[in-house]
Structure 1
């Protein structure tokens, strides 16, 4: 999440989701922290490697040895930058935190790579952030008027300045004071000379879990990162909770924001989290299978094969196949050695990206009626190309089934989605979408079916259990930086394309 320069009225381009030409929803980042470990930086690097799917464009690790803070930040993957002993040796100390991120337009460059660091009156302050502060422009404008000088275009830096200018006596109280002024979604790992603080926003929109390995306390965006470093899962950090761990290992829990109904992001179950993670007490893999089962019950198809769009469509396709009795087959093979679309040098290379990532298994699909299972449709361009790829491979029919409801609204809580005008489901009804991607039929799991898959009876309209704004437009917080005009547009119905 970035704040553009100079400040402008309304919402700058790099805060408008969709600063890239990818046709997939993307998490913005993942965080990992450990305190009380001799090899803290090495453990953070390993944990970040397990979270690489949450951010593949930049990585940073900061550490503290009881006297000094150290930092190493770079563009690229974890393995590219932290696989050598020399790199880890630059980060001594028993406390360390790290961050993997995606950037949006205007937000790339080392100055935005986290963790961010500042020397405050109370000492060093390092912060890693997953999420999005939805009133960051408003806050930054006020801070700049009061003399603040920003070194990055990240919304995370707003928190640093709010802490620095707070008049409360203790650092913890200053931090809480700062968080009371921000809105939106955040999971934060903060390091100070006194220890580590991990916290989630009051609605728990972005995930954060806590574990232990020996005498060390570990925090991570997903449980899979705990597994990889050999830490035992203790619990999730509760919505609105601040967990304070001192340098001597004392753990204190604070709940300064009262009790509010949690609204964790439901798309963690659909796509963002690794299938071997546990989210909100449920296996992501099992939930995705259950979504496929719901799809089969709600939208059956007369077909010969169930084919996932790899890799994210695989668990749902297994569930669909088991429920429907239609055989599951890998009718599409994915290459895992293809770079991201937007870094390719020409338009022709970008257009060829789908074929370089996915190739039809012609021997299986030729002459067959196919049910294609994918996690979502964003702009629709990838679905169009994959459906055509199946037809080119000889499939006689292609029926598309999507393991989430139509994505009809943008996310402003730390997920990189296109602006609403570029979301296919905001412009067309399902029948028109099916025609656009040239499928013989198209269906999405219902919102109630999605809730049943995650273990809820249905979506309670007056108090939904998750943040599902990308499907429903029901944003659980105010969105100050959108401005009144944009707020009104969010509430207006979008004319459907016939």
Structure 2
């Protein structure tokens, strides 16, 4: 396959919504691994000069959104590690729940860490694992890893995809001319002209090399626990995950909200962009006109994903501009995908009030989020989650809405269209598919003592 770094760049562009803190690409042509990473958006990190320094026939890329380890250059991915079996580059989507234990164990064996991420723990565990082939080493490592991990791994002569046995985070496979592509979402395949073949199965290892593609079962799949937040917010609406087009699920959420929480109003607004589809669907079902009364500056990062609360608060003010002439004196139904910390929503409602809205009826496309996520969504600690601390009437008062309706759990599951037992609903129910320590710290590995030097 020609110019793999450029293809990877455009695929990362399509996945920019999954992380905006840093970006990176690693390539190989069979005689070494080249890597380029940097802080910021894909377009900030890469230019023609950077891509020209990434030759080869195999590439992996990563957009980072920190769920373990702080947002800094040292924690960018792909991560390159080297052991007796050779050198690999690893990119990881997800979050381990036993990273500290494995980090300590590997440190005592003499493995050195240059980052504070669980992704480097995974990479070092793979090179530390016994086996004659990378597949055997990865399989051995998978038996030790606990948590969510979708991985793409680059060796000197192969591309490997790995998905955890619960299938918490998405990973799909596509075909491009004489090559193969792995990506978090199918929208990335579309952007580079790749045919979607299938999703990588939970517990599966996919190995792609010059001989073609083969599949191996790394570990026995557990109960499926695909993150429901992919459908609510995280994934792009033009992606297909779990066999379901995201656009259709968000339409269904808006329709169901109109059925569960009808109200007399003059217009419906979806907070752009993640609730626009649900807003249009709510309007269609309710018969209330949909209006774009709140405009978004699309060049400001997603406020939920930015890691620093101070930046997050600034981001809300930079992000939205209400249309006063359209909204003044009107009764509004406002749809949003979720209320997590309760940082954004009161400010959006205050903006709309200032623009002259007479009534504001808030409708939310998810049930109340009462429990933190430990599997790859940086939601907050439990005490930061507004629904963990306040009742729904208290939240309504706090955000300044005239009424507040959250989509029911039953309504959410029906909207997604997959059996309840195949989804991770832990942030809504507290029922985690994997046992977790309820106050895990995303900066935990930064607090560990200095590692012992690597054996010479």
Q: Same fold (TM over 0.5)?
A: yes
Give, in angstroms, the shift of residue 375 of structure 1. 0.4
**1:345/1:423 Cα in 2 relative to 1: closer, same or farther (>3 Å)?**
closer
Q: Deviations over 1:373-412 (max 9, x none)?
A: 0001012121111111111111111000001111111000
Q: Deviations over 1:56-100 (max 9, x none)?
A: 11011000011121111111111122232x211101111000000
Root mean square deviation, CA, Å: 2.1
Residues 306 and 327 in structure 1, CA contact (< 8 A), matched pair in contact too: yes
Q: Confirm or deny: 8 A CA contact 1:362 1:394 kept in the other structure.
A: yes
- 2:236 paired residue number: 274
Residue correspondence of structure 1 range 60-79 to structure 2 within 5 A:
60-79=24-43
**Alignment deviations for residues 198-247 of structure 1 (CA, whole Å, 9 cap, x no partner):** 0110010000010011011000001110000000001111111111112x
> CA offset at residue 105 of structure 1?
8.6
* 1:406-463 deviations in Å (ceiling 9; x for gaps): 1111000011111000111001111111011111000100011001111147x4xxxx
- Secondary structure at 2:37's aligned position in 1? strand
Give the drift of 1:149: 1.6
Q: CA, structure 1 residues 480+253, in 2 after alignment: closer, same or farther (shift >3 Å)?
A: farther
1:418 corresponds, among 370, 375, 380, to 380
Query: Which residue number in structure 2 is paired with residue 161 of structure 1?
Result: 124
Residue by residue, what CA displacement relative to the aligned partner does 1:245-267 show, whole Å, maximum 9, x if unpaired? 12x14211111322432111111
Q: Please name the residue that 1:477 is paired with.
A: 434
**Runs of 4+ in structure 1 displaced over 4 angstroms?**
339-347, 349-352, 480-483
Is the partner of 2:215 in helix, strand or coil?
A: strand
- Return the offset for 1:270: 0.8
Q: Who is 1:319 aligned against? A: 281
How far, CA to CA, are the matches of 1:69 and 1:218 in structure 2?
18
SS in 2 for 1:415: coil
Q: Is 2:230 the counterpart of 1:264?
A: no
Q: Distance between the aligned counterparts of 1:328 and 1:481, measured in 2?
A: 41
Deviation at 1:281, TM superposition (A): 1.2
Task: Return 5+ residue gaps in structure 2 as ranges.
Answer: 441-456
1:48 aligned residue: 12
Aligned pairs for 1:59-138 (under 5 A) are 59-84=23-48, 86-103=49-66, 107-138=70-101
Displacement of 1:189 in angstroms is: 0.4
Partner Cα separation in structure 1 for residue 302 and residue 376 of structure 2: 20
Aligned to 2:185: 222
* Matched ranges for 1:402-481 at <5 A: 402-456=364-418, 459=420, 464-479=421-436
Can you give the 5+ residue segments of structure 1 that lack an aligned partner in the other structure? 1-36, 484-498
Q: Does 1:213 align with 2:170?
A: no
Partner of residue 144 from structure 1, selected from 95, 104, 107: 107
Aligned twin of 1:355? 317
Does the 8 A contact of 2:258 with 2:286 survive in 1? yes
Distance 1:167 1:268, change over 3 A: same
Q: 1:198 aligns with which of 145, 161, 168?
A: 161
Contact 1:295–1:401 under 8 Å retained in 2: yes
Cα distance in structure 2, aligned partners of 1:273 and 1:398: 28
- How far 1:141 moved relative to its partner? 1.3
Flag the 1:345–1:382 CA change in 2: closer, same or farther, 3 A: closer
CA distance in 2, matches of 1:340, 1:444: 22
Shift in Å, 1:344: 12
Aligned length, in residue pairs:
439
Separation of aligned partners in 1, 2:385 and 2:273: 22
1:431 and 1:449, CA in 2 relative to 1: closer, same or farther beyond 3 A? same
TM-aligned CA deviation for residue 167 of structure 1: 2.6
- The answer on whether the counterparts of 1:62 and 1:70 sit within 8 Å (CA) in structure 2 is yes
CA distance in 2, matches of 1:344, 1:480: 21
Q: Does structure 2 conserve the Cα–Cα contact (< 8 Å) formed by 1:62 and 1:69?
A: yes
Kindly indicate whether the alpha-carbon contact (under 8 Å) linking 2:29 and 2:156 is maintained by their aligned counterparts in 1.
no
The alpha-carbon distance between structure 1 residues 63 and 481, as it changes in their structure 2 partners (threshold 3 A), is farther
Displacement of 1:187: 0.4
